[in-house]
Amino acid sequence: MDNLPVTNTIVGQRFDAWSLSLQEQVQNPGLPAAEPQCLEHFLHVTSNMGPQLLLCYDLGDLPRTNNDMEGFIRSLKIRYRRISGRKNWNR
């Protein structure tokens, strides 16, 4: 893969090409019974949310994932459970 800068436009084009390949797979008669229905639902949801899914590539300060935040919340939960002695931190 070339070293092009990753932008919303480039990722959007790749995402659209990938979506088209998935739409072609929906028409495949050899798929198991539930798979075309699942693919159609996935394509419907991602086409509706497409612009919001790709915003992070042109905004340098916006993280692409929330893994760091999830890890921080997990460490808080672990610390609270150790201090309180409770198994569930929501009580």
Question: Minimum mean pLDDT among 7-11, 17-21, 56-60, 64-68: which range?
Answer: 56-60
Distances (CA, A) of 27 to 7, 44, 47, 60, 88: 31, 15, 18, 39, 46
Q: What is the pLDDT of residue 83?
A: 83
pLDDT digits (tens, 9 = 90+) for 26-52: 888 888 888 889 999 999 998 888 778
Residue 40 in tokens: 């159609």
pTM of the model: 0.62
Q: How many CB atoms lie within 10 A of CB 53?
A: 15
Residue 24 in tokens: 């072609």
pLDDT digits (tens, 9 = 90+) for 7-26: 888 888 898 999 999 998 88
15 close to 50: Cβ distance less than 8 angstroms = yes
